[in-house]
Copies of this chain bind each other. A is one copy, B any other.
């Protein structure tokens, strides 16, 4: 039973830094690509046996310290009645993005449909198959990130429609964000009931907001979700990408940990949040294109930037890229296993 990941979230000492990797069940793995060749992306998400198979692959292959259920953040808008397709090379595309805000009133609740049942079933099944080996993470997109996709209709360099709406229709935007917040809380509580032992919230487009907008249109909703989920006893990791301007506020939003992106400097972050919460991150995903020796040096740098007084979960600062060599992931895990115990000796009572 490897509890390191939950131990760090709960503020207990560990013998070494736990590690998992965002998108660890993903295209860089030949075993994943073999499954993907037989199913569409959404089929994988909505077929519990398949979702569980790819969820467990990186645990078996690399011995990561946590599993994260294979899924997608856009299942919530889908379950609310919006249709989304995943197009090769373009990512998610909505058939009918929200451009008239009256459309918000026509969105259904995820409670009124059984569309998400296969996801809860996948969580249940993954938890059983893990047999307590490592904890299982559930996740959701943040309200702003979901709203950005629902209005824009796809990924975007500028999220022009969604961002313009913050200026032109602030009340409608708050209504949408509030609505999404409530649905996300229901969704996450269902995932927890099915067996998820920690929750990560992805605010992938937090950095598309001005700092002022982030504090108005994202942070209050992140706080509401974190507090509602933490109250159930399940720890929450908030990953608001490129929102370093608000780390202090984020560290007081009810989460157990903050995800730190690779564009943010770890040392000043740690100084700022003063071990109030754990940090998770933040190796540059591109560092995995370097030699094993250089990867080891970069891992050492992240550990050194965090230091020994800050609670830390090792991760990349963004999702692992599909082209990443598998050998690099092994070098990464080895380096964390070998280099991180040094940073935990004092806390676990071993003298240097």
CB within 8 Å of B: which residues of A?
Answer: 155, 157-158, 160, 163-164, 166-168, 207, 209-211, 242, 245, 262-265, 284, 286-287, 289-291, 294, 321, 323
16 CB contacts below 8 A, A to B, read: A155-B157, A158-B321, A163-B284, A163-B286, A164-B286, A164-B289, A164-B290, A167-B287, A167-B289, A167-B294, A168-B290, A210-B262, A210-B263, A211-B263, A211-B265, A242-B263
- State the number of copies, please: 2
Q: Are A160 and B294 in contact (CB under 8 A)?
A: no
Q: Are B286 and A160 in contact (CB under 8 A)?
A: yes
Q: Taking A160-B321, A160-B323, A242-B263 as contacts, is the C-beta distance between A168 and B289 under 8 angstroms?
A: yes
Q: For residue A285, give the distance in angstroms from its CB to the closest CB of chain B.
A: 8
Q: For residue A21, give the distance in angstroms from its CB to the closest CB of chain B.
A: 16
A289 contacts which chain B residues (CB < 8 A)? 164, 167-168
Q: For residue A307, give the distance in angstroms from its CB to the closest CB of chain B.
A: 16
With A and B bound together, what is the CA distance between A210 and B160 in angstroms? Answer: 26
Q: For residue A19, give the distance in angstroms from its CB to the closest CB of chain B.
A: 19
With A and B bound together, what is the CA distance between A210 and B155 in angstroms? Answer: 23
Given contacts A164-B286, A211-B264, 14 further A-B contacts (CB under 8 A): A163-B284, A163-B286, A166-B286, A167-B289, A167-B290, A167-B294, A207-B263, A210-B262, A210-B263, A211-B263, A242-B242, A242-B263, A245-B263, A245-B265
With A and B bound together, what is the CA distance between A168 and B207 in angstroms? Answer: 28
A291 contacts which chain B residues (CB < 8 A)? 168
CB-CB nearest in chain B for A265: B211
A294 contacts which chain B residues (CB < 8 A)? 167
With A and B bound together, what is the CA distance between A264 and B294 in angstroms? Answer: 32
Which of A168, A210, A245, A289 has the largest number of chain B CB atoms within 10 A? Answer: A210
A168 contacts which chain B residues (CB < 8 A)? 289-291
With A and B bound together, what is the CA distance between A262 and B207 in angstroms? Answer: 10
CB-CB nearest in chain B for A213: B284
Query: Across chains A and B, which 7 residue pairs bring their CB atoms closest together, nearest first?
Result: A167-B290, A164-B289, A163-B286, A211-B265, A210-B284, A164-B286, A167-B289
CB-CB nearest in chain B for A287: B167
